[in-house]
Amino acid sequence: MSGSWEKKAALAGLALAAGIIAAVALRVGLPPATPSVAPPLPRVAVDRDLDAIAKTGVLVVAMRRDEVAYDRRRGRDEGLAYELARSLADTLDLELQVVPTHSPAQALRDLGAGTIDVAAWIEPGPAPFLDEVAWTPPLELSHPVVVGREAEKIESVADLAGQRVAVLRHSALEQLAHRWKEELGGDLEVIRLPIGATARELAHAAASRRLPLALIDQRRAQLEAAVIRPLTLSKPLGPALPVRWCIRPRSPALSQALENWIEDTKRSGRLAEFERRYLENPLRLKSRRRPVFRYAGATLSPYDGLFRREATRHGFDWRLIAALSFTESGYDRWEVSSRGAIGLLQLMPRIARAYGAEDPFDPAQNVAAGASLLRWLYDLYDEVPEPDRLAFVLASYNMGMGHLEDARALAAMRGLHPDRWEEGVARVLPLLEDPLIAKDLPHGFARGRVTRRYVKDVLHLYERMQDAASPPKRQQTARAQREPTPEPPAQP
């Protein structure tokens, strides 16, 4: 009996210990411990210094998979963390092996297990837990800021009282947000995004109002705000945080080599060069994110559903609206032109409000307003025969009705037909750029050549999209045999 009781007591003790471990694990954001026949890893499983690394000839570096830190494009590696790690490997005369990671926690585990040599970051953090790590000297300092549609109103931590702030898990910024919560007496809700979430997802969610505020380091926030135009930044909230890399603690030779390399990288200007290429270059990031129309398949864009819905409502072929959106914005919902036109269909704020789009960055509102404007223009030029009518509508959409009427008047004065496009109005559009002619026009100067090219581009793309998104003829024939012929809609 006593032996049985002792076994039960031992089992109960083990269960209690497992419960405590699980609670601690959940508190730091890790999954609960699960039974395993393998013994747990020691806190630092491997001592592997520079001499051992040199024998293999390979420096193994973990870095977050991210458009700015590390990514692979057209078969080539790129990114700020990658460029820096490659520079380090070259300095040490080693080959670079990249281990992409979506979780800083996993990178720290790999570091402790000895499967990687360095964990490279371009943002403050991560917050160390479980495994011991050593830190390099700072490569850079960056202030914490919050981003959102109205984040510019946040000037201090006190302004965060009563707010909800999203953070990336296992980061120094997450630790900072919880510290702010304590300072505010708990009057701050910290939202932890799932493991693998990125700064891009934080910024997009804040810009589209799915999240009210997101905590990001200032350098990345400035880059995102240059690409996602409605995004605003708070004032820097607290002192700057260091951007440092992680290595195993008992690697003195590697630590000294990294310290020397960081000092040389800063002094030589290579760090500043890499940062300009990736952190201060919104055009690069914008081009990476812009969808590409590939002229194949029934799906033309991420917004086909919106285009179909609004086209049906207004009697257009949905591929016309798709072609218009691609020409206007490249399907970039955050696009803002130099004149202030906004969103997928590049609506001026006044026009957007007139057609009910309170938030023209919202794809649904933007497409609904743009399609309504397109329908209004199409009805306006009902005296113009097809196929010229659609060209007139697109020209008016691009340059405005007033300038198009000036061009029609010029065409008539020169003996050309004012209701014809190629043989009429298109020929005189360049004259709107002549200062001697423009000064006498009711609506003044206009970029006529740009509009002529714009109309040509939209119509050509529309034709290509019709071919790309149309089912094969045999499918059309089979469908026609099964379904009654509908009444033809009023469409261009």
CATH number at residue 68: 3.40.190.10
How does strand 163-167 pair with strand 241-243? unpaired
pLDDT band for 483, please (50, 70, 90 cuts).
very low
The answer to whether residue 190 scores a pLDDT higher than 90 is yes
SS3 label, residue 295: coil
Residues 367 and 265 in one domain: no
Q: Is the pTM of this model over 0.85?
A: no
**305 close to 319: Cβ distance less than 8 angstroms:** no
Domain boundary among 229, 254, 283: 283
Q: Considering the domain boundaries, does residue 30 fall inside one?
A: no
SS3 label, residue 11: helix
Identify the helix (H) or strand (E) that includes residue 432: none
Nearest Cα neighbor of 164 from 120, 127, 126, 215 is: 215
- Please tell me the predicted confidence (pLDDT) of residue 129: 52
Which tens digit of pLDDT belongs to each residue from 216-262?
A: 999 999 999 999 999 999 999 989 999 999 999 889 999 999 999 99
Residues 156 and 126 in one domain: no
In angstroms, rounded to a whole number, what is the distance separating the alpha carbons of residues 346 and 361?
9
In angstroms, rounded to a whole number, what is the distance separating the alpha carbons of residues 370 and 347?
7
Residues 227 and 250 in one domain: no
Strand partners, 191: 166
Residues 96 and 158 in one domain: no
Residues 88 and 176 in one domain: no
Q: Considering the domain boundaries, does residue 73 fall inside one?
A: yes
Residues 58 and 85 in one domain: yes
Residues 308 and 369 in one domain: yes
Q: How many domains does the chain have?
A: 3
Strand partners, 120: 63
Q: Considering the domain boundaries, does residue 386 fall inside one?
A: yes
Residues 461 and 364 in one domain: yes
Q: Considering the domain boundaries, does residue 296 fall inside one?
A: no
Greatest Cα-to-Cα distance within the chain, rounded to the nearest angstrom = 115
| Helices 80-91 + 270-278 axis angle, to 10 | 150
Nearest Cα neighbor of 118 from 143, 148, 139 is: 139
Which tens digit of pLDDT belongs to each residue from 446-462?
A: 999 999 999 999 999 99
The answer to whether residue 139 scores a pLDDT higher than 80 is yes
- Please tell me the predicted confidence (pLDDT) of residue 195: 86
User: In the chain, pLDDT over 70 holds for what percent of residues?
Assistant: 84
Say which range, 8-17, 269-278, 286-295, 397-406, has the weakest mean pLDDT: 8-17
Phi-psi bin for 223: left (phi > 0), alpha (psi -120 to 50), beta? alpha
Q: What is the mean pLDDT of residues 324-341?
A: 94
- Please tell me the predicted confidence (pLDDT) of residue 471: 59
In angstroms, rounded to a whole number, what is the distance separating the alpha carbons of residues 245 and 240?
16
Neighbours of 101 (CB within 10 A): 20
Which tens digit of pLDDT belongs to each residue from 386-442?
A: 999 999 999 999 999 999 999 999 999 999 999 999 999 999 999 999 999 999 999
Say which range, 15-19, 72-76, 181-185, 435-439, has the weakest mean pLDDT: 15-19
pLDDT band for 295, please (50, 70, 90 cuts).
low
Neighbours of 388 (CB within 10 A): 19
- Please tell me the predicted confidence (pLDDT) of residue 208: 95
What sign results for the dihedral spanned by CA atoms 278, 281, 282, 284? negative
**What token pair was written down for 167?**
């953070």
Q: Considering the domain boundaries, does residue 92 fall inside one?
A: yes
Amino acid identity at 31: P
CATH assignment at residue 370: 1.10.530.10
- Please tell me the predicted confidence (pLDDT) of residue 44: 40
Residues 268 and 319 in one domain: no
pLDDT band for 267, please (50, 70, 90 cuts).
very high
Residues 155 and 225 in one domain: yes
Which tens digit of pLDDT belongs to each residue from 37-54?
A: 333 333 444 578 999 999
Residues 379 and 272 in one domain: no
In angstroms, rounded to a whole number, what is the distance separating the alpha carbons of residues 392 and 26?
63
Q: Considering the domain boundaries, does residue 299 fall inside one?
A: no
Q: Considering the domain boundaries, does residue 359 fall inside one?
A: yes
Domain boundary among 190, 222, 242: 242
In angstroms, rounded to a whole number, what is the distance separating the alpha carbons of residues 464 and 112?
55
What sign results for the dihedral spanned by CA atoms 11, 14, 20, 21? negative
- Please tell me the predicted confidence (pLDDT) of residue 277: 96
Q: What is the mean pLDDT of residues 329-339?
A: 93
- Please tell me the predicted confidence (pLDDT) of residue 492: 42
Q: Which residues contact 205 (CB under 8 A, 6 or more apart)?
A: 166, 211, 214
What range defines the domain where residue 470 resides? 304-478
Q: Considering the domain boundaries, does residue 419 fall inside one?
A: yes
**What token pair was written down for 11?**
């089992």
Residues 259 and 401 in one domain: no
